[in-house]
Amino acid sequence: MTERVYNFAPGPAVLPEPVLAQAQCDLMALPDVGASILEISHRSQAFREIIEAAEANLRNLLAIPDHYAVLFLQGGSRLQFSMIPMNLLTPEQPSADYLISGSWGKHAYKEAKKFGPMQRAWDGGDSSYRQLPEDADLQRNPEAAYFHFTSNETIQGVQFATEPEVGEVPLVCDASSDFLHRPLPIERYGLIYACAQKNAGPAGVTLVIVRKDLLARSRDNLPIYLNYNAQAEAGSLMNTAPTFAIYIVRLVTAWLLHEIGGLECMHQRNRAKAQMLYEVIDHSGDFYQGHARPQDRSLMNVVFRLPTEELTQKFVAQAQERGMTSLAGHRSVGGIRASIYNAMPPAGVEALRDFMLKFQDKNS
């Protein structure tokens, strides 16, 4: 079987087929270069054009102003969990606020505590991370070096539809699992980061958008690779960048711009896709039970449970037979997780919806 399935994996995740087709076509040799993207220098003219186009596409899609730098780094969000406190804490502001709305926020907070006295501005752990706070629920420190939140929690399937209000404190966002799924008011953020392997590209590159005034906080004695200011000064080419991953980001962002029509269109398509599944859940008479509180539901990861573990396993197995893969929920939450990022075609979601309806018919 080399036919393509509908891949509901939480990340690395499905990519747009035209992107894969283009990458495949040029894999032996880029046109007019005579060598593969896998073989060319990060300092070659051909690669400079690629990284510049990737950045220009991102600036275009998100209307990123000039006073923000765009970085292409390695190490995933996990390395950002460390880099953020290492770069943004200062002797005058040694503490930051963390809003913990799921597993990833908890990981970020745990790592940050190595570098200073962090404060939990809110923690949804008591409710199994089914819901998000109102601004009034946040315990904010106005002297915090920054305020960190996770815009979409992949495991629990909760997502902020808008940014929390944090006053003058720089807002730092782990947008790993919903980056580029909608337009963003960039100027509300101090720093946004996202590993690419959900909506922006393959594993191996992490995008960081940072307000340039914050770069002054990076101290010279940081490990050189982890220094945002040094990375910005080098244009992400301090050392060999992950050239192939950046090339795919260029192709994905071009697809968003030219085939989808930008992030407003993408957002509309994402809302329609998610609605198809949540409607089935809401009309299932509790056969399917959504994990997240309805107003906090994610457009990216639809997390729900079936009445029994046996039915859950049957659901996953029968879906797999029908070419719908990677639907098992995360072990910490159980049930089903359908990840329906930007590149999941509406037809894939329709196929899942139809299967859910039939499965309930036969098994309830």
123 contacts 97 by C-beta, under 8 angstroms: no
Part in contact with a copy of itself (CB under 8 A); list of ranges 95-103, 224-232, 282-290, 291-299: 224-232
Among 166, 192, 195, 352, binds a copy of itself (CB under 8 A): 195
Pick 101 or 154: Cβ nearer a copy of itself: 154
Backbone angles phi, psi at 160, to 5 degrees: -75, 125
Residue 276 sits in the site that holds a copy of itself (CB under 8 A): no
Q: What is the 3-state secondary structure (H, E, C) of the chain?
A: CCCCCEECCCCCCCCCHHHHHHHHHCCCCCCCCCCCCCCCCCCCHHHHHHHHHHHHHHHHHHCCCCCEEEEEECCHHHHHHHHHHHHHCCCCCCCCEEEECCHHHHHHHHHHCCCCCCEEEEEHHHHCCCCCCCHHHCCCCCCCCCEEEECEECCCCEECCCCCCCCCCCEEEECCCCCCCCCCCHHHCCEEEEECCCCCCCCCCEEEEEEHHHHHHCCCCCCHHHCHHHHHHCCCCCCCCCHHHHHHHHHHHHHHHHHHCCHHHHHHHHHHHHHHHHHHHHCCCCCCEECCCHHHECCCEEEEECCCHHHHHHHHHHHHHCCEECCECCCCCCCEEEECCCCCCHHHHHHHHHHHHHHHHHHC
- Considering only residues 28 through 57, tell me which ones interact with a copy of itself, judged by CB under 8 A: 28-36, 38-42, 44
CB half-sphere exposure, 325, CA atoms < 13 A: 11
> From the list 53, 56, 138, 203, which residue makes contact with a copy of itself (rule: CB under 8 A)?
203
Tell whether residue 186 is a contact of a copy of itself (CB under 8 A): no
Residue 243 in the binding site for a copy of itself (CB under 8 A): yes
Answer yes or no whether residue 239 interacts with a copy of itself by CB under 8 A: yes
Instruction: Please identify, using beta-carbon distances, which residue of 4 and 258 lies nearer to a copy of itself.
Output: 4
Q: Does 79 bind a copy of itself (CB under 8 A)?
A: yes
* Piece of the chain touching a copy of itself by CB under 8 A; list 70-78, 277-285, 292-300, 349-357: 70-78
Q: Does 272 bind a copy of itself (CB under 8 A)?
A: no
Active-site residue flag, 137: no
Nearer to a copy of itself, 20 or 186 (CB): 20
Binding positions for a copy of itself, 310-329, rule CB under 8 A: 323, 325-326
Q: Segment contacting a copy of itself (CB under 8 A): 144-152, 167-175, 203-211, 270-278?
A: 203-211
CB 202 to a copy of itself: min, Å: 4
Give catalytic status of residue 104 as yes or no: yes
The active-site residue, picked from 97, 106, 122, 174, is 174
Query: Interface with a copy of itself by CB under 8 A: which range of 75-83, 95-103, 145-153, 178-186?
Result: 75-83
Nearest CA to 204 among 194, 214, 212, 196? 196
Angle at the Cα of 317 (from 315 to 318), degrees rounded to 5? Answer: 65
74: contact with a copy of itself by CB under 8 A: yes
Using the rule CB under 8 A, give the single segment among 23-31, 147-155, 164-172, 292-300 that binds a copy of itself: 23-31
221/295 with CB nearer a copy of itself: 221
Residues at the site binding a copy of itself, with contacts judged by CB under 8 A: 1-5, 7, 9-15, 17, 20-21, 23-24, 26-36, 38-42, 44, 74-79, 81-83, 86, 111, 114, 195, 197, 202-205, 221, 223-226, 238-245, 248, 323, 325-326
Catalytically active residues, by annotation: 104, 174, 198
